[in-house]
Each structure stands twice: as structure tokens, then as C-alpha cells.
Structure 1
Amino acid sequence: MPQIFHQVDMLLEKLPLHVDVLIVGGGPIGALVVQRLAAAGINALLVDAKPRIEADPRALALSWASFEALDRVGLWGEELTATAITKVHISQQGTIGRTELLASELGLPALGFVVDYDKLARRAFNTLSESTAKAALGYRVSKITRLARFAQIKIDGPKGEEQLTARLVVLADGGQLISQLDDIIQTIKPYHQHAILAKLTPSEPHGGMAYERFANDTTMALLPNGKDFTLVWPQSPELASKRLAMSEDDFIQEVSRRFSGRIAGFSSVASRASWPLALKTLNSVVGRRVVLIGNAAQTLHPVAGQGLNLGLRDATTLAELIISTRQDEIGEAAQLARYARLRKKDADLVTHFTDGLITYFDHPGPLLKHGRSLGLIAMDQISWLRKGFAKRMVFGAR
């Protein structure tokens, strides 16, 4: 029988007194780790404060490597109604600078897929309930006390407070628990921006093309999502509020003006929403008996679509490291230091690249504008440069 603990109207089984690995966060990243560990016979438990997945307007751009990682553990399915990205068009408004990244150049069926976040998160929850992985949904970790040989965890659930111990605690979510970790410091860099998310129906079929657009006043993205595009449009909070209140026609005109010459236009817009943006990083992704992955380790600006892809590579690396480690070495300082070394290059490069898109590429001015244009022209003309960049976006830094 699958070992799953729900918050439902029935008698709950008691949580185990001890596990080798406790994973906090039942989204795709945490679910990937616990599924990989369960398949390898590792004594692991996943807990998530949410008993169910609520509607969420966000869409995710998942790389081909992320698709493979999710598919391997049953976290991919037809109900995701994923849209393949076969090409990415990158351009600078007001110049001839442009390039295209093609799946065919990498020998792949697609560079990646676009999925709705709530569909993927619901798939993760459903898969947990159908597998042999142990999961407790509707249980919230309230306190982590770390000792030399194990961590002691307090969990609030339907029956009140329970306690268990673990050799290693993995924070795949639960960012609020970071304040309890005295050896890990979080730095938050506000972008003073809100991202508008909207669904736009193009006047002509998108053909699996995603767009990254260096507009004169911001960096924007359009992701193919079903027959529509999902728009990611960062801007000041004041402008975001104003544009959310615009008429449908006025909003479409604002977007179309920034994609002029690249897209024929849009026939309708729906599902407009916005949220604040910030870069969150840590001085270390590991501490005594704890490791942080995914959004708990780093929260990135969404415009390059790399946040979840980076987190899934965190999850894959960590799961493989735990599986290859002796039981009595799980959570030991040497194991955690090795994980930190394995992930540092990829995490640093993706974080700096994403932050650089906003910090440097968002600034107006003719010199920067034409410099970006020349860079895109060079990438378009030099195949090894273009293919190398595409591989980094798909597979990360190795």
C-alpha cells in the first residue's frame, strides 16, 4: 500500500519516529527527490503544509532536461497539456539584432515545454498519493533543532504536534524556516518591479516559438501555451497597477508595440495578474544536517524562465548523491560539502545570468541597446556560440 498521510476525515496513521531524509515541500522539486529516494529504498518522508493545490495563474518554461527528470519518476503526464518549445526567438526592439535557438540544432525534439504551474503541482501531489513514497500532506514543519548526529523536527498536523528525527532535512520549500538556521544567511535584493502575467491569443499560430524581447524599456517574454502565449512582463509596481486596469484593446496595443516587427499581433487577452519580484540567495545552501534546494536555495527573476529548471537540477544531483552514500554518512558534513561543490558552478552562472538580464540589459540608452543588438547578431552568425548558449539553457552548466 502507498504510504501517504492526508488531511482527510479518517483515522491517520502516526508519523514515523525517525527517517533518514525529511523533505519539506511537496511541489515538483520535493516530489522528485522523494520519488528517487523511495525507488532506491531510502527511508525518506515528504511533508507539505498544503493539503491540496489551489488554482495558480503562473506558467513554467521547463527545459528538455527538466522534462526528462520529471518523466523518469512519473511526474509527467498527458493531463499537463504541455506545449512544446521548438524555437526561441531573441531580439532587441528598434534594431536588427536577433537570433534563434533551435531544438533541431541540439538534436532534440524540443528545447522544452510550457506547463501551467498548478497542473504540474497537482500532478506531483497525485503521484505521491499513488506511489510507494511516504508523504504527509497538510502537515507543517514548525521547528528544526539540529544536533550532531541528527535533526529533531516538530510537525503540526491534524492530530496536533508530533516529533520525529532525521539524519538530513531537505528544504525544497518552506523558506520561512531559514530564519531558524543560524549558519545560513539569506540575502534579498528587491528589483522594485512587479511582473504582469497574462494570456494573449496571437493573430497567427505561434508554431512552438517562444520569444525573449529586449524592449526599449524592459525585458519581456512570451511562452507558447496551448494556442495562446503566456506573457511575462516586468515593470514598476505603479505601471503594473495601471496596465492591469487597462481595457483589453489598450493592453494589447501596449504589448504589440514592443513586439512590433516580430509578431503579427494579438486578438485577445485574459487572466491578467501581477506579483512582486526579488532575487533571494544564500551564503551557503548547506548547514548542519540541512540542505536547501529549489526556491528555498534561490529565488530568481522569472524573465529567463530558469528558476524551476535550476531547482530540478538541484533535486536530481541531491537525490543521486544520497543514493550513492552509505546510510551512516547521510547528512554528514562531508556529504553536504560535496553537494555544495557539485551545484555551485551551475547555480552561480544561472543566478548571475538572470540577474544580469535585469541589472544590465534592462537599462535604456543607445550604447547598451546597440551593444545588445551586436551581441545577438554575433550569436546568430556563430553556430558554436549559439549552440553552446542553447545547451546551457537546456542542460545547465556541467
Structure 2
Amino acid sequence: MLTSTLPTHVDIAIVGGGPVGALLALRLAQAGHQALVLEARRDTSADPRALALSYASREALTRVGLWDETALAATAIAKVHVSQAGSLGRAELDAAELELPALGYVVGYDRLAALALERLAASSARIALGSPVTAIRRLARFAELAIGGEDRPRTLTCRLVVLADGGKLVGTLGDVVQTVKPYRQHAVLATVTPVKPHQHIAYERFADDGPLALLPRGDDFTLVWTQTPEQAEARLALSDREFLDEVGARFAGRVAGFSAVGARASFPLALKTLDRVVGRRLALIGNAAQTLHPVAGQGLNLGLRDAATLADVLGAVPPAQVGEDATLTRYARLRRKDAGVVTAFTDSLIGIFDSPNPLLKHARSLALLGLDQAAPLRRGFAQRMVYGAR
């Protein structure tokens, strides 16, 4: 429910009302915990990003009413085609092999963010809009949050504070250290219309000048093209026809071609990780815990698993123990393997496919062929993409 008057104390304060924070808040409400979401925004804004949500993420969102295929205009991914430009190597992951209706779904970030705010406002979970958290002070028995906004600054205490966004607050935590690895790359985003129907196939294409992903969305594809900053600027300056020719050349032999392109945008990429995801009276989930390269489409899926795991842990203890070290240590232990494996895998893909060395290119081609031919290996890889490392 929306709240305009902030309480002076809650058991759990969640900073960030995006999909990850909303999932946690709604799960905690189901478990009977007293939680409050503090969201700096008052509403959502247009966002060009498309999300590739795994089937497991859809199930997690459905559990709390955060899945509505009509409102989200969700497009199913039946297959994922992975290939390398200039070689025969390719692999195809198929939902039918896992006996699932889809490997995942493509939705717009802005649609999911809007649905998250709508569901929070209509639920028993409490959310305060226009309430940016400007500082956090943590003591042995409680945390104190400084909250800005349109009126006078306010303070709120809680047994546990959960950071669910990737804002500046992470840099103010003395017992948690963030490491930033700049990729010196930008993601170029655009909507492209294929000449032939996409048949619910997503494509991951590793070209010599950067990986490209095509995500089926409605009748179109959302293109995510990783480029150097200079290349990204040049791609944005191309005419529509020149841009489509460039994209078509990199998907030659895989996609028949493209007939139209929408507005283009780009944003810088970096890997952000933490030395630990818990601190005194503190837990970090989603983008606050890790920000990944979009190459494998795992960032939000990983964040939603953070939220679901933390909800399980907190739901198993009484309110007085939600911020205790033993509770937070259990959450950190349960997330260590999944977060570590997925982060390392995503980061390694950039290094593995970044070199144009002919010998490495040949080895990559053989690896893709081997993955495609070995059914148990292929199914295991697909399961990791859907469910994470368990």
C-alpha cells in the first residue's frame, strides 16, 4: 500500500522499489514481516532496455503477482541460437529439451518497473514514493536511515536495511567494498524489424568487433550490440539503412535481414562486484550486489534470485532476528555459489570472445560445435541459464 506518512521504525527497510525490491517486499508481506520500501521516484519513466527473464524468474514473479503477460507485453523465447561470425561453430538451446514452455521471456524494463510499483501500491506491502535515502548509519541493534524528499528531511530506524538498487549508497558502506571493472564498452540498443518472423528465437552472435544479441519482442527484435565508445558513437550516427546493413552483415547466414530500425541509444558497461553482500544490519541484493555485462542476459535474473533467497531466509526467523549476524551469514552463504559462478561466467565470455586471434577463433568454433552435439552438456548449460547455479 502507498504510505505518505513514514513510520519512525520498521523491522525491514528496502531501498529501491524496482522489480528486485518489489519481489522481496511482496514475499515478506506474504510471510507476515513488517517491511517498508523506500523509492526515490514518484513514477516510472520510459526506458529503452529490454529484459530477458528466465522461465524461473517468471515463476518467482508469478508467485507474488508480478507477472502479467498482457501488461508486460511479454514475448516467449523458445530457442537461443549462439554462434560466432566467420565460423561454422554454433549451438542451439531449446525449451523443449527441458520440457518447459519457454526458456524465458522478453519484456521492457519500464513495463516491469511500472507493474512493480502498481502491485506494491495495491498490496499489503508498504511503499513510500519520493523518499530517497541519503545516508545510512548502522549500530549494533538497529540501522538509522536519513530520508530526503520534498518536505523536511526525516529519519527512520529498522532492524535490517536491504539495498536493492545500485545507487551511490553502496560507496558509503565502510564494511562492504565495491570493485568496479570498466569494460570500456557501450551497449547500443535499438529495435529492429526482421524481414522474416523471428519464430521466438533469440540470437547471441559473437562478431570480431563485439557481441550482438537479438531478443524477440513482439514482431520485432531488441538489438543489444556491444561496442567500444568510439564505435558506439559511429553506429548511432549512421543512417537507418547503413545501420541495418551493418547489423545484417554480422548476422549473415543466421537471420534473413532487417527492414526497419527504431530509435537508437547507448550506455556504458562495467562489472561491479562486492567483497561481501552483507554487513552490520545490512544485506545487498540485485544491482546493489552485482552489476553484470548484458552479454548473457543474467543480471536481473541473478538479482531476482537474490531477493527470493533473502525472502526465504528472513521468512524462517522471527522479526527480532532479521538483522542478526547469523541470519545474514546464512543468506550470504546460500547466494555465494550462484552469484560467483554466474558473475565469473559472464565476465569470462567477454575475454574469451574478445580476441580475433585465428587459433582462438577456431577453438571457440569447436567448443560451440561440441556443446551443440553433446546433449547432456547442452541441457546442463541451458538449465544453468534458466535456474542459475544450484
TM-score, structure 2 normalization: 0.98
In structure 1, the residue matched to 2:2 is 4
Residue aligned with 2:148, SS: strand
Aligned-residue offset at 1:179: 2.2
Cα distance in 2 for partners of 1:341, 1:225 equals: 36
Residue of structure 1 aligned with 2:381, choices 364, 373, 389? 389
Q: Secondary structure at the match of 1:206?
A: coil
Query: Among 306, 317, 341, which residue is 1:325 paired with?
Result: 317
Instruction: Give, in angstroms, the shift of residue 359 of structure 1.
Output: 1.8
Pick the aligned partner of 1:110 from 102, 119, 124. Answer: 102
Quick one: distance in 1 between partners of 2:66 and 2:355? 39
> Percent identical across equivalent pairs?
62
Contact 1:22 1:44 in 2 (8 A): yes
Question: Counterparts of 2:335 and 2:249 in 1: how far apart (Å)?
Answer: 40
How many residue pairs get aligned? The number is: 389
Q: Residue 325 of structure 1 aligns to which amino acid in structure 2?
A: V
- Structure 2 residue 17 is matched with structure 1 residue 26: yes
Q: Which residue of 2 aligns with 1:76?
A: 67
Q: Does residue 58 of the first structure (1) align with residue 49 of the second (2)?
A: yes
SS at match of 1:4: coil
Deviations 1:198-245 (A, max 9, x none): 111000000000001111221111100110001110111111111101
- The aligned amino acid for 1:197 is L
Which whole-Å CA distance do the structure 2 matches of 1:362 and 1:224 have between them? 25
Shift of 1:107: 0.5
Greater Cα offset, 170-179 or 256-265: 170-179
- In the aligned structure 1, how far is the partner of 2:150 from the partner of 2:62? 32
Deviations 1:2-35 (A, max 9, x none): x312xxxxxx3x2111111100000000000000
What pairs up with 1:294-309 in 2 under 5 angstroms? 294-309=286-301
For 2:339 and 2:61, the matched residues in 1 are separated by: 19
Aligned counterparts of 2:345 and 2:38: Cα–Cα separation in 1: 32
CA distance in 2, matches of 1:393, 1:158: 43
Please name the residue that 2:191 is paired with.
199
Matches within 5 A, 1:154-233: 154-233=146-225
Choose the corresponding residue for 1:290, options 267, 271, 282. Answer: 282
Deviation (angstroms), 1:361: 1.4
Contact 1:84 / 1:113 at 8 angstroms: preserved in 2?
yes
Mapped pair 1:354 → 2:346: yes
1:139 aligns with 2:131: yes
In the alignment, structure 1 residue 42 sits paired with structure 2 residue 33: yes
Deviations 1:251-278 (A, max 9, x none): 0111111111000000011121000000
Secondary structure of the corresponding residue to residue 261 of structure 1: coil
> Deviations 1:115-141 (Å, cap 9, x if unpaired)?
000000000011111111100011011
- Are 2:260 and 1:262 aligned? no
Is 1:279 matched with 2:271?
Answer: yes
Q: Secondary structure at the match of 2:102?
A: coil
1:8 maps to none
Deviation at 1:326? 2.1
Structure 1 contact 84–110 (Cα < 8 Å) conserved: yes
Q: Is the 8 A contact 1:90 1:99 kept in 2?
A: yes
Secondary structure of 2:76's aligned partner:
strand
Q: Using the TM superposition, give the Cα deviation of residue 52 of structure 1 relative to its aligned residue in structure 2, in angstroms.
A: 0.6
2:234 to 236, 239, 242: 242
149-158 vs 332-341, greater mean Cα deviation: 149-158
Please give the alpha-carbon distance, in whole angstroms, between the structure 2 residues aligned to 1:180 and 1:90. Answer: 40
Partner SS for 2:96: helix
Letter of the structure 1 residue corresponding to residue 124 of structure 2: T
| Gaps in structure 2 of 5+ consecutive residues | none
Q: State the 4+ residue runs in structure 1 displaced beyond 2 angstroms.
A: none
Which residue is equivalent to 1:101? Answer: 93
Shift of 1:328: 1.7
Which residue matches 2:304? 312
Q: Aligned partners of 2:108, 2:190: CA distance in 1, in Å?
A: 12
Q: Which amino acid in the other structure matches residue 124 of structure 1?
A: A
Question: Aligned partners of 1:159 and 1:40: how far apart in 2?
Answer: 33
Length-normalised TM-score, structure 1 = 0.96
Corresponding residue number in structure 1 for 2:82:
90
Partner SS state of residue 257, structure 1: helix
Give the Å deviation of 1:363: 1.4
Structure 1 regions of 5+ residues with no counterpart?
6-11
Tell me which amino acid in the other structure corresponds to 1:207. Q
In structure 2, relative to structure 1, the CA distance for the partners of 1:175 and 1:85 (3 Å cut) is same
The one-letter code matched in structure 1 to 2:43 is R
Q: Secondary structure at the match of 2:255?
A: coil
Query: Which SS does the other structure have where 1:370 is aligned?
Result: helix
Contact map agreement 1:16 1:164 (CA 8 A) in 2? yes
Q: Structure 2 CA distance, aligned partners of 1:235 and 1:174?
A: 23
- Letter paired with 1:310: L
**8 Å Cα contact 1:97/1:373 also seen in 2:** yes
Does residue 17 of structure 1 match 2:8? Answer: yes
Could you tell me how far 1:174 is from its partner in structure 2? 4.8
Give me the whole-angstrom Cα distance separating, in 2, the residues matched to 1:91 and 1:180. Answer: 42
Task: Say which SS state the counterpart of residue 298 (structure 1) adopts.
Answer: coil
